[in-house]
Structure 1
Amino acid sequence: MTLAPAQPKIIVLDDDPTGSQTVHSCLLLTRWDTETLRLGLEDAAPIFFILTNTRALPPDQAQTITTEVCQTLKIALVETGISDFLVVSRSDSTLRGHYPIETDAIAAILGPFDAHFLVPAFFEGGRFTQDSIHYLIINGVPTPVHETEFAQDSVFAYHHSYLPDYVAEKTQGRIPADQVVRFLEADIQQGVQAQLQALHDNQCVVVDAVNQAQMNQFAEDSLAVAASGKRFLFRSAASLLTGLAQLPPQPIPATEMGQLRRNSRPGAIIVGSHVRKTTEQLMALLKEPGLVGIELDLEPLASNQAAASTLLETTLAEIYEAFQANLTPVIYTSRQELSFPDTATRLAFGLVVSQLLMDIVQALPTDMSFLISKGGITSNDVLSTGLNLPTARLLGQILPGCSVIQTPADHPKFPKLPVVLFPGNVGDQQALATIYQRFSTATPSLA
């Protein structure tokens, strides 16, 4: 018998703030005390996001935070009386992240689960999975992700695009490749409710999807079987969330998002991501009129972190000079990849750079008309630290994969400021320029 899908509360633990890039009208939480979690659980939207930012942290801290979130979430679920829910560990569509650390931590507190699913496809970013091999489209060519720059990440490096082998590698053989269940395209198209019913004891399942229709079919089957009592945990990129949330079109069309700008003053653009795609987008952006580029040379900070205060002072002077000239400053980190003796040192340096960027955000002119944040970790920090937002309402996407939130009307420094959360590794070469154009040419809304 085919079951009808239900609509549980979908709880997303997002390891940076870009997992919401395919949904809208829901809450993003940057804190996870019980009171804040209750806001997400009791919100009218079927989905909400807890921004843990664990991708920016060492493994032990990622495990600690994930455990802490789940322990508090367990209390909030009891307090709100919610028993019908799904948990998604949202992570990167290029397979970077703390797997299986985060899924293990979630299962230890909120389990037991019958299965956990790896569903990394993200169509808006050109990532799909076929025959259990995960691909990234580069210049129109589907490329196995282990052949891309992302597989060489100094923190999250891996050697396999065939997902069962990826699982075996990341679990250090605890889950052998031949024990990973594979849902192939043909399975998804025929429906997998029977296979889902048969899963048990937190089996690992890798899921094919080459288009959103297939993803929606898998989500529909998963919802239906979960409604019958099976318990599932998902480790996914953003496209699965589209299928699970089943939302109508976003209220504000993407092409009209620029009308959210607060006034006719300049905006500000912060670029932290240094992947190749971001650099290409940055170079295209800097050709636009009405901008001034301000580069943060990070190399001196690697050997002398005290230099940050001087760099902050000189950068803010350049920013305010740009505003006086009615130009939008583009503040970007230097593009070279610095070398570090170990992962811990690299992550610690990342925190120094992040603090510098957030000090800049907090000191931006209070009358700026919009803010564009480029990079996943950078965007998380902008919300939680730069703007000090415990929650934010996601309005939708200005481009595929690029979300827009608006600060509340009672924000002490930047009321009703539209903020673009732009992941580092999505969009074409002109994407950053296109978003800037939509804001810089729009007539400010009077609402």
Structure 2
Amino acid sequence: MPLEADVLAAFPAEVQIPAELVADAVAASSAASPRVLVVLDDDPTGTQSVADLPVLTRWDVADFTWAFSHIRENNLKSAVYVLTNTRSLDPAEAAARNEEIVRNALAAAGNTAGAAEGQALRLGFVSRSDSTLRGHYPLEPDVIAATVAAETGEATDGVVIVPAFPDAGRVTIGGVHYMRGTGADAGTLTPVAETEFAKDASFGFANSEMAKYVEEKSKGRFAADSVIVLDLNIIRAGAAAADPVISAKAIADAIESATDSTPIVADIVTENDFRALALGLEEAERRGKKLLYRVGPPFVRGRIGQEIRAQLSGEEAYAGNTPSEAGGLIVVGSHVGVTTRQLKALTEQHSAARIVEIDVEKLLGDSAASYLDETVETVVESLRTGDVIVHTSRLLIKTDDAAESLRIARTVSAAVVAVVNRTLKTFPPRFVIAKGGITSSDVAAHGLEIRHAIVRGPMLPGIVSLWEPVDGPAKGIPYIVFAGNVGDDQSLADVTRKLSNTF
């Protein structure tokens, strides 16, 4: 495993760029024609890097109208997240959902919702996916580009691919995507194709070099040598003069040749790199380039010029609401290694919590209905005296068939949702934490019946998102979206401790 310091030694130092500089550039470009970024988030964990933005779990025209109006009326940064949950869908379903969302967003914008009188509302589209490269690529940006072209006549010149998530240890250097080591391996880099995530049953891959990843996933439609690579020499072109304008021009110049959805991959190691990239993309779009984005969680924060939000305290999590005296509900569905370790740490430290394991084999058997009834009864009674940790059995039932893997995942998720929803309607918990991407998506949209929410900010530095539901039966209950693959072994316990009254 290479050392990060050695890999970075070949490149310039980062250029210091305040978030305000990006925000000012975005505001200037939006002065005559306001722009909102519509973030199609394939699971809800993409919100963990932003704060004070609206999020939708439904995408009717009326939902977008609410979001655009909320942004305008509250003078928020111009972005809205749409929880698509497409990582849990097969390709045909994912394509149909992306198309429907883009059409409805454009229809709402066409009604000038959210813009001042007489001003048209422009939309930019972001396909937010996994920082470890799992998801429907290139399908989703392809569908977004085709739908925009069909609805507006506007062709996409480039698809900017930025999976980096430094807060969670994912960085891209020299066009190669890495995971940072932790513990004894701190300071090292592991190419992402050599991690457990590359072996995903539905979205596995073989290449860590992003240009080759694009060629692999596009089945050769985009050859590796046709991919534009914005390495750190370009992103940090202004380092010698400490001038971000130089970097912005270098980035815009580098993508000048992009046409017909040319893939563009970007090196990112720090927040300043995100901001440099944002200024470069602003300049490219000012010159007339039409871009879509396929990105990891922090890209949007940098792109809109939002400051990094400090982690929320327990008091801030309940601000404006009176917390219930009931216990909290912690729901764990993810099976990646870090989640299993986090669950182990939580159960060992939180001795007052009741642990309820959902047996996946029983969910797939003939007695699933009665088994669910028993589980709900146990959860409700336990919440009356303290926190409850509900987790699926850690034995992952694997199959080589991607479609069957998704079917099993859906069956398990449906059961988890049913437990949460029936518990909510019977005895609402003090808080809800959902661990895992698909789990947290389904718990939000169906278990808690959240339609509209506001992302308040992170519960840990740069990761783990707090949503405040603004309507529905979960209104007033803090909902914590916790990705399966982020944090250290103590992170789940740390977040639970902030919210619990018995830990």
CA contact (8 A) 2:43 2:84 kept: yes
Superposition pairs of residues 46-445 of structure 1, within 5 angstroms: 46-80=78-112, 82-111=120-149, 112-139=155-182, 140=186, 141-190=188-237, 191=247, 192-248=251-307, 250=309, 253-254=312-313, 256-260=315-319, 262-287=323-348, 288-302=350-364, 304=365, 306-324=366-384, 326-340=385-399, 342-364=401-423, 365-399=426-460, 400-408=462-470, 411=472, 413-441=473-501
Tell me, yes or no, if the aligned pair for 1:25 and 1:250 is still in contact at 8 Å: no
CA distance in 2, matches of 1:171, 1:330: 41
Give secondary structure in 2 for the equivalent of 1:363: helix
| Alignment check: 8 A CA contact 2:229 2:264 kept | yes
Inter-partner Cα distance in structure 2 for 1:414 and 1:18? 19
- SS of corresponding position for 1:209: coil
Per-residue deviation, 1:158: 0.4
Q: Deviations over 1:20-59 (max 9, x none)?
A: 1111111111111111112223332311111111000011
Determine what percentage of the aligned residue pairs are the same residue.
33
Gaps of 5+ in 1: none
1: distance between equivalents of 2:299 and 2:466?
Answer: 20
SS in 1 for 2:383: helix
TM-score for the superposition, normalised by structure 2: 0.83
Distance 1:70 1:229, change over 3 A: same
**What's the TM-score, normalizing by structure 1?**
0.93
SS in 1 for 2:236: helix
Deviations 1:302-356 (A, max 9, x none): 4x2x4321221121222133224x1211000011121235111121121111111
Shift of 1:229: 2.7
Q: Tell me whether 1:31 sits opposite 2:50 in the alignment.
A: no
Using the alignment, how far apart are the partners of 1:254 and 1:207 within structure 2?
Answer: 34
3-state DSSP class of the match of 2:268? coil
- TM-superposition CA deviations, 1:61-91 (whole Å, max 9, x none): 1111111111222222211264433211000
Deviation of 1:441 (Å): 4.7
C-alpha separation between the residues in 1 aligned to 2:309 and 2:66?
Answer: 21
After superposition, the C-alpha distances for 1:216-239 in whole angstroms (9 at most, x for unaligned) are 110122123323432110100011
Cα distance in structure 2, aligned partners of 1:338 and 1:367: 31
Residues 333 and 54 (structure 1), Cα distance of their counterparts in 2 relative to 1, 3 Å cut: same
Q: Which runs of 5+ in 2 are unaligned?
A: 1-21, 28-34, 113-118, 150-154, 238-246
Determine if contact 2:311/2:459 at 8 Å carries over to the other structure. Answer: no
Measure, in 2, the Cα distance between the counterparts of 1:322 and 1:372: 16
